[in-house]
């Protein structure tokens, strides 16, 4: 790997970044100055719209996103250099993925105020607790409901306006009922011509709390319309997406004592997608790219101690279906998926700590493919004191079925060329990692190697119109580092990731890759929360990258520095009020995160949030 350029190193050092735990609390109300959705980023909300689950991932050290328009419009989430179709999303015991394409993985109509901080599952943890993803998964649990709320409103350049109201109510006593609800709206003209957007979200949750368990019932709806030139194609067309997503979910978490637990859940997700290649073209009674997917799922997982052995288990099943005006080819338009995982675990006392071995297997099955067994194992050593706290080595295998867009698009005509012969993808991950603390810093590090067999990529070949779904055998090796420290007036989180890849495409000759070979060879994240005075706080996120060169990237080069800067002021006379100013893409970078797709440019906004 070539060294990071001098400019990026100096800029990153000057703009050192970090993320904060909860900001200073108001002594009278106990309300935080800023609601913290993730302890790994500084700016908890974007400048351009209301916060969504994807917002906290924009500068997450262990996650990279590839946005079209702003991140909240459409973002491909990648972990350890996988593609948007190989990343999973987990809520409790449930794997919620997008069966159509993976581009809509983050279409979750859930207010971040209802969710805990996102966790990143990789390696053995990912294999043991998720389904139908191979690179990794972003995992959430429900945030317990409290009697608190807020109202927020803001305006910005390019005609931006946004509003959000959240309210939580809670009973008292060991057994009580609680509920919360959120409504949010934003619209604007976008940071480039024909980049306009209009977002609405409404969601509510009912929670039953007992001393050792919590049951949540959730219902949410989100409507997202946005335009962008070259949104998915490189033909200089002004394209649009019109999405409506419904999510219904019920879950339970019961603590059994001694670290044992059981969690379960069921969900229903419907995602409607009306894509327009040319927003100005007259449309007939049938839109050419209109898709609806339905997904039903159930999950059960937990941990149970039986004598000296602890049994970790996870069971999931989903069924999904597609109705489309263009995805009418391929072998099927509905399917079922099941996964069962059993991982026994045993610990032995060792000097100053313990040695733990867990080893087991998963069984993945589908009515559209034969079932497969996948082994996983992890050996770890922990210490109760000292700088080094944990050292581990693990190996795990995961599998995934292809999306409907890759499978059911026409293989010969159109903007997106499918492949009806695509089958199950398999990933083998091996890694070594450590975590600990020293000199006031806490951190973690890992090195990994992942081999993907029959991974699905979208590629371009000279002389062929449109992009095509191709299978590729891919080798990825990487290094990840994360460190954080908190002082009296500041909190810092630093992240670094380095990746290398080699690919062997199994189909037609490939000129360029849109996804599998579009990755950051080196990426440095840095976030800072700095208390300037008793009422003024500065928040700064940064990501510097050296991207693998791609023939499809037409602007912005392969080296980029992007930053988000926020300033929050809490007047002493009204401690429940925060007035803020924020700018995203501070340096107005033109870097194309997805090759050929124009970058969202600088966005400035002002607003106020009142909490109670």
Portion of the chain with pLDDT greater than 90, in percent = 89
Q: Which residues in the chain show pLDDT less than 50? A: 1-32
Residue 494 near residue 482 (C-beta atoms within 8 A): yes
pLDDT at 286: 75
Which H/E stretch holds residue 395? strand 388-400
> In whole angstroms, what is the distance from residue 248 CA to residue 268 CA?
5
**Residue 527: other Cβ atoms inside 10 A:** 32
Give tens-digit pLDDT for 302-351: 999 999 999 999 999 999 999 999 999 999 999 999 999 999 999 999 99
Give domain limits for the chain.
Answer: 6-611
CA-based radius of gyration for the chain: 23
> In whole angstroms, what is the distance from residue 603 CA to residue 266 CA?
39
pLDDT at 240: 97
Using alpha carbons, list the distances in angstroms from residue 139 to 219, 261, 286, 465. 19, 17, 38, 38
Which H/E stretch holds residue 453? strand 441-460
DSSP, res 142: B
Give tens-digit pLDDT for 431-471: 999 999 999 999 999 999 999 999 999 999 888 888 899 99
> In whole angstroms, what is the distance from residue 466 CA to residue 452 CA?
25
pLDDT at 34: 61
> In whole angstroms, what is the distance from residue 125 CA to residue 376 CA?
9
pLDDT at 21: 32
pLDDT at 28: 34
pLDDT at 2: 36
pLDDT at 412: 93
Residue 190 near residue 212 (C-beta atoms within 8 A): no
pLDDT at 298: 98
Topology at the third CATH level for domain 6-611: Maltoporin; Chain A (2.40.170)
DSSP, res 549: P
Q: List, in order, residues 6 or more apart from 150 with CB less than 8 Å away.
A: 35, 113, 164, 165, 166, 609, 610, 611, 612
Which H/E stretch holds residue 474? strand 467-486
């Amino acid at each position: 790997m070539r060294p990071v350029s001098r400019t990026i190193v100096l800029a990153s050092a000057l703009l050192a970044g970090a993320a904060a735990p909860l900001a200073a609390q108001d002594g009278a109300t106990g309300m935080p100055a800023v609601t913290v959705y993730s302890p790994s980023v500084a700016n908890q909300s974007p400048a351009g719209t209301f916060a969504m689950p994807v917002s906290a991932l924009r500068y997450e050290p262990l996650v990279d996103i590839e946005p079209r328009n702003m991140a909240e419009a459409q973002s491909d989430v990648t972990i350890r250099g996988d593609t948007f179709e190989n990343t999973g999303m987990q809520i409790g015991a449930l794997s919620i993925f997008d069966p159509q394409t993976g581009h809509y993985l983050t279409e979750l109509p859930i207010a971040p105020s209802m969710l805990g901080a996102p966790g990143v599952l990789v390696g053995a943890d990912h294999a043991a607790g998720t389904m139908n993803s191979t690179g990794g998964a972003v995992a959430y649990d429900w945030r317990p409901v409290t009697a608190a709320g807020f109202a927020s409103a803001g305006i910005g350049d390019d005609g931006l306006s946004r509003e959000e109201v959240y309210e939580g109510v809670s009973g008292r006593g060991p057994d009580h009922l609680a509920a919360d609800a959120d409504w949010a709206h934003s619209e604007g003209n976008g940071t480039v011509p024909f980049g306009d957007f209009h977002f609405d979200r409404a969601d509510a949750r009912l929670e039953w709390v007992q001393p050792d368990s919590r049951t949540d019932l959730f219902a949410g709806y989100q409507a997202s319309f946005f335009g962008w030139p070259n949104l998915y194609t490189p033909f200089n067309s002004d394209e649009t997406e019109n999405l409506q997503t419904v999510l219904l979910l019920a879950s339970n978490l019961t603590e059994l004592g001694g670290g044992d637990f059981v969690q379960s859940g069921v969900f229903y997700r419907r995602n409607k997608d009306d894509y327009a290649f040319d927003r100005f073209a007259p449309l007939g009674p049938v839109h050419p790219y209109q898709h609806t997917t339905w997904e039903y799922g159930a999950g059960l997982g937990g941990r149970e101690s039986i004598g000296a052995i602890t049994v970790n288990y996870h069971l999931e099943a989903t069924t999904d279906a597609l109705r489309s005006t263009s995805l009418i080819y391929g072998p099927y338009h509905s399917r079922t998926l099941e996964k069962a995982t059993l991982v026994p675990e045993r610990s032995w006392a060792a000097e100053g700590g313990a040695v733990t071995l867990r080893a087991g297997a998963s069984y993945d099955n589908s009515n559209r493919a034969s079932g497969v067994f996948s082994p996983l194992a992890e050996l770890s050593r922990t210490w109760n004191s000292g700088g080094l706290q944990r050292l581990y080595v693990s190996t795990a295998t995961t599998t995934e079925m292809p999306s409907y867009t890759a499978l059911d698009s026409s293989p010969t005509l159109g903007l997106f060329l499918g492949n009806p012969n695509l089958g199950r993808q398999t990933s083998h991950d091996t890694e070594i990692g450590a975590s600990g603390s020293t000199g006031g810093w806490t951190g973690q590090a890992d090195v990994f190697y992942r081999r993907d067999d029959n991974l699905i990529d979208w590629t371009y070949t000279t002389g062929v119109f449109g992009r095509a779904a191709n299978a590729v055998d891919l080798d990825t090796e990487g290094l990840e580092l994360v460190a954080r420290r908190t002082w009296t007036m500041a909190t810092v989180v630093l992240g670094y990731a380095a990746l290398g890849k080699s690919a062997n495409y199994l189909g037609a000759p490939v000129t360029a890759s849109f996804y599998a070979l579009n990755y950051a060879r080196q990426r440095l994240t840095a976030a800072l929360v700095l208390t300037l005075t008793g009422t003024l706080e500065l928040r700064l996120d940064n990501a510097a990258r050296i991207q693998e060169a791609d023939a499809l990237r037409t602007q912005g080069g392969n080296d980029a520095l992007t930053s988000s800067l926020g300033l929050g002021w809490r007047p002493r006379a009204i401690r429940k009020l925060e007035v803020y100013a924020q700018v995203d893409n501070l340096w107005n970078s033109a870097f194309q995160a997805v090759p050929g797709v124009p970058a969202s440019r600088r966005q400035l906004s002002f607003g106020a949030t009142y909490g109670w």
